[in-house]
Amino acid sequence: MKFSKLNFSILSLFAALLTFSSCSDDPAITTGSSVTVTNTFQSTAFTMDAELDIEGLFMAPAGSLAASATVGEGVEFSNYLLNLYDIDIDENSIAFTCVAQSDDPTYGTLFRILEPNTFDRYYFTFAEAQNVNGFSSSNSSVNLRVDSDNVLVVEIGEGYDFKPGQNFTITLD
């Protein structure tokens, strides 16, 4: 009799701990958070394997293409990076849609399948820590790197079909 009561008590304790440790209602990204996005590009062909701020490639003043927003309803970064992407962030995802057109004077000649050793990185720096524990991507050529509780890096790489209308979503855990 004591043995079964002990087993029941241990089982109950284990179930309670499992419930509290695995259930979290905290979103990955906090609505109302301030976030700044910056961009870098790295390529064997264009940058000799160096990761360069996009301003350097466009010969623009340092930091001039960074943008800041508050996470909320709607698209946080509309026409980001000289009308290249709409970027929408919510509590559980980061979504990109290429809004540049095929005849765009900045990007029109750059549309292609990205080559090996080519990385287009978007650094999202939040003013406060976020709760991102994992992710999945709707595109196998897009990855998420968690540099810290405040910095998420969306990395677009080899095989990405860089073209008008292309979109992807990173679902956050």
**8 Å CB contact between 34 and 66:** no
> Could you give the 3-state DSSP secondary structure of residue 31?
coil
Residue 40 has pLDDT above 80, yes or no: yes
Identify the pLDDT of residue 45: 87
Identify the pLDDT of residue 18: 42
Closest CA to 91 of 21, 2, 25: 25
Identify the pLDDT of residue 16: 45
Average pLDDT, the chain: 90
Locate tokens 């264009």: which residue? 46
pLDDT in tens, 101-149: 999 999 999 999 999 999 999 999 999 999 999 999 999 999 999 999 9
Enumerate helices (H) and strands (E) in the chain, giving the number of each.
Answer: 4, 13
What pTM does this model have?
A: 0.86
